Amino acid sequence: MTNKPDLEQRIVDTALSLAENCQIFNATLKGGMMNTVILEIRKFDDVLDDVANAREIGRPATPRISFETVGSLWKIISPKKMEILQSMAGAGALGVREVARRVARDVRAVHRDLQALIVAGIVRKTADGKQVFPYDEIHVDFTLSGVA
């Protein structure tokens, strides 16, 4: 049986692999279309199917960052981290102080949140030490239903 944190990391790694293999992660605004990433709740097997399908057709799919549970999504992307991502969307590479200014938060707290997002593979660090979230907008897509 797979350890739950290991499974969640495998899902993040697989989603990032899909994006990188399809040359989506570094995409920029092209032809007036928004570069959107979808945050979603999906089973690991479904994410693996997407990877296989994208490789098979050789065409980029919509970039997605998938989590197996709502809890794992909110553990990695808390409301404060989501605010950081929103402030970085479409902005290019930003320094920590600029991100902190945009979200009106303490630089140390923002630095800590950015490091967590970098470790999760959601934000990238540039060669000059800035952070980049390479999407123009974020679409959150999941359904919550009652527990039976």
pLDDT tens, position by position, 43-53:
888 878 877 88
Mean pLDDT of 23-50: 66
- What pLDDT does residue 108 have? 97
The distance in angstroms from the start CA to the end CA of the chain is 24
What CATH code is assigned to 4-141? 1.10.10.10
Mean pLDDT of 80-86: 94
CA distance 117 to 17: 16
CA distance 141 to 24: 19
Q: Where are the beta strands (DSSP E) in 6-130?
A: 36-41, 64-67, 124-125
> What is the residue extent of each domain of the chain?
4-141
- To the question of pTM greater than 0.85 for the whole model, the response is no
Contact, 7 vs 67, CB < 8 A?
no
